[in-house]
Each structure stands twice: as structure tokens, then as C-alpha cells.
Amino acid sequence: MVWAVSRPEGGAAGPGRAPASAPAAHRWAPASSAPSGKGVLTLRDAPHVLYLPRYDPHAAAPYGPTYTFDLAAAPASPGGGQGSVGGIEVDLDLSALQGRAHIHPRLPGDCSLTGSRMKCRVPNVQFGRVAEVSPFYVLPGPGAVLGRTGTIPLTVRAANAPAIRHTTRLVVGSPQLTLRPSGKRLTGVRPGDAIRLTPAFGNKGDTGIDGGVSLLVTAQGATLSTRYSNCRYDKPTGATKAQCDFPGPLPAGTAFETDGPVTAKTGADARNGLIQDSVWRTADMPYFTALPTSAPHGTGAPLGLRPVDGGAFVRNDDEYSEVASGDALAFETSLHDDVAAVGFTIRGKVGATVDVTVPYPQGDGWSGPDDRGTLHVTLPAGVSLVEVPPEQHESDILYCYPSPRKDGTVACPGPAPPGTVMRVHIDRRVDGARGSVRADSDPALDPDRTDNTAPVTVTYLP
């Protein structure tokens, strides 16, 4: 069978383009039962444009675009019950690639290539599931001359579902989307303040993009202003994702920035966050990334573009032309953590072995640079740690262990819902003996660390 990876409806997959050196994916075993019930197949993420790099005889490892699409199966009528679409055959007319590219099936033997016609079988797709199909990749040949175009017709037939058809436009050339890196980190931002990002993108390739580009902005620790009418948002208020579409062409060698900022309001309780932007070719933006056309639009004027110098813009190393993502605009607010260690008492008879729960600190952000979520206990004089091997742990309870720092302290891991337990032996009575428990924190986020240490005492029982 052709490479076809099944996943639940709505499950995300990676972009449909990969380096030619990528190994073939795991083969998905077809269902043993015959197709049942009348179904329907929906084509998703089939490429609208396939860019074939122009031929370079000196390229040691030329980029080879992969032809990939998704097939979603569903019953022909609502409430059609369980079943699957079977007898699926993919028919591709690759005559546009003849003389321009070398065609490489992803799994030789699973597809038959006769002349310029490729036919592949696809396993049954159960209703409610999606199969990712990747029949071939191509490497540019001597006939791949910049600017040549053509079409790749696709037909998918099935035993119990109507046929579906799609046409991919072939273009010889390589657009390279780029984005202006931010690299900024704002500090001292007050909760509720507005922060602004002006995205900018360009095309450093040798071929223009005719189908428009889409700017995607996501926010963490902040919400986006739903301002621009050519942007749609994941929510009418409190949005954290926006997609702004620019339908015009993006010629090779050009760059633009938005004529207005994307504004985000920091959360009332946010201590930090970031605003991330990326730019995609609109025609082939993955459906699980794009916002639906029914998503709410902004209520103000449209967001426009103005030309800028894109010489310093960067592109992704792992994507040839599909997407470019910049450095996030990070921010830290004026809110601070206040980590406060909580002391505890060891109770027991001299000579007894007891378990004591080590309480977690109050406040957020307790961690050290090398031991995130670990408390450090200095035992009172006359008390020693009893190690509990992991195989003797009761359920999910975590036990303390000698600190790897080898400074005589005890390390207590956390946080975990059941709590952290320390097993100790009371060796002898030492009146007034006191130890301590310490919770580390980042001084930049917790400027008052005087309460990061609390006492550990001993109560001797008769």
C-alpha cells in the first residue's frame, strides 16, 4: 500500500513537504474487513501549487518536494453509523513532470508508474478518521527551467464513495518566505498594558507567490485586539489567535510590513508571555492551522502593507517555501512570585523510623537552575535519612533521596499530586535540634527570598 497514516478526525499532521532524503513513513496496515456502508471522501491539504526547484547540476542534495494530501472518510448521510470507505485508488497524471523532474515513489512497489501515469492503492479509511497519503516526491531534472508551469490532475476513486478530483498547478521555481525577527524581550510590563508588534515578511526566492499570503499571530499570556476587518480571530473577545489574509502577489525580492501594529493586552495575572507571528502561502496553509472562514472578523479598517527592506529577514531552515516564523516578542510583567517555604515537624520515638510529608512551598515559581521543583532539606541533628528504593514506592508517592550535590542535604522532588514523603530514622535525642527546608526560586521573579527557607523541628514522643 502507498504511505497512508490513519489518524482520528481533527488530528494534526505535519506539513506535506519534506526533504527528499526523508525516509519512508511507517506503513499503515489496511483494515481486514471489507468496506461497509455508503461513504464520502473529502480531500484535504492537497497542494494547490507544487513548486519544483530549478535544476542545479552543482547541488549535492537538491530539495525534493513531496506530494501529500489527506483523505477524510464519513458516512454519506448523518447518523450513518460505523463503516469505512474502501477500494480506494489514487490516479495521478504526472505528464507535467516529464523531462523536468525525476519521480520517486515513497514506497516502491506500492504505486505503479506507467509512462506518466501513477496509480496507488490506499487502505480502508474508517468513518471519522483521516488518512495522510504521500505517494511520491520529485527531484529537479535538467528540464526544470525557471518559470515553466503545468498541471497535475488527481482523481481518487473508491468502491463505496463518489470520486473526487483535484488539480495542482506545477511551477518551476522556489519562493522563500522570510520574516523579520523580533528578538525583543520587554520587561516591567504592567498587567493589562498593551504591547504592540508590527510584523514584516518577504520573499527571498526566485519565484513570486501569486495566491496571496496569510499572517498568523498567536498570543500567550495576553489577548489580541480584534481590530482589522481582513483578519479573523479564534474568539470575538479574548482572542489568542489571528489570521490576516493579503490576497495580492508577493513577487520575488520584495518585502512588506503591516501599516499598523498587532496589539495585545497582557493578562491581569500574567507574569510573562509572548506574541508569535508566522507567514504562510494562503493557498496551501494546512487546514488544522488556518482559522475557518466562519471565524469572527475584526470590525475596523483592514490591515494594509507597505514596502520595506527585507535584507535582514530570515527563513526557516526546515521549510523551503511554505512558512516562515520569527522570534517571538517576549514580555515579563511587573508581577513577581513570592515563594515561601513551609516548615514541618518530625514526630516519633527515639529509635523509630517514621514517614513525614514534606509540604510544598506557597507561591509559584519554586525551582532552581538544575533541579526544577526540588526542595532541599537539612535534617536536624540526631535524625538520618532512610532511602526508599523506587521499586518499594507506594503507588505514585515520591520519596526523598540524598542530594546529588553531596552536601549532606536531602532532595525532595515535586510537585506531584500525592505529595512528597521523607523516611527518616530518629537516631538519638538532641534537645533544640533544628534543620531547615529550602525552596529555590529565580531572583528575577522572586526578589524577596528571605522566606524561601523554613525550619524543620523534632518532637520526641514517649
Cα–Cα distances in Å, from 298 out to 121, 217, 277? Answer: 45, 14, 18
Percent of the chain scored above 90 by pLDDT? 63
Percent of the chain scored above 70 by pLDDT? 86
Query: Is the per-residue pLDDT at 390 higher than 90?
Result: no
Domains contained in the chain, CATH given: 4-172 (2.60.40.10), 177-333 (2.60.40.10), 344-460 (2.60.40)
Residue 97: strand, helix, or coil: helix
Query: What is the rounded average pLDDT of the residues 339-358?
Result: 93
Query: pLDDT digit string (tens) for 155-202?
Result: 999 999 999 999 999 999 989 999 998 778 898 899 999 999 999 999
The contacts of residue 233 (CB under 8 Å, 6+ apart) are 224, 226, 239, 241, 242, 291, 295, 296, 297, 298
Q: Point out the least confidently predicted range of 83-97, 116-130, 348-362, 411-425.
A: 411-425
Query: Is the per-residue pLDDT at 87 higher than 50?
Result: yes
Query: pLDDT digit string (tens) for 7-23?
Result: 566 554 443 333 333 33
pLDDT at 79: 77
SS3 of 383-394: EEECCCCHHHCC
DSSP 403-439: -TT-SS-EEEE---TT-EEEEEEE-S--TT-EEEEEE
Which cell goes with 352? 523509630
b/e map of 187-204 (b: 16 or more CB within 10 Å)? eebebeeebebebbbbbb
Query: What is the rounded average pLDDT of the residues 356-375?
Result: 74
Query: pLDDT digit string (tens) for 206-263?
Result: 999 988 999 999 999 999 999 999 999 999 999 999 999 999 899 999 999 999 999 9
* pLDDT top residue among 25 and 456: 456
Average pLDDT, the chain: 86
How far is residue 1's CA from residue 434's CA, in Å, rounded to a whole number?
A: 70
pLDDT at 182: 78
- Of 313, 21, 346, the C-alpha closest to 180 is 313
The contacts of residue 292 (CB under 8 Å, 6+ apart) are none
Q: pLDDT class for 337, splitting at 50, 70, 90?
A: confident
Query: pLDDT digit string (tens) for 293-325?
Result: 999 999 999 999 999 999 999 887 655 667 888
How far is residue 371's CA from residue 393's CA, in Å, rounded to a whole number?
A: 21
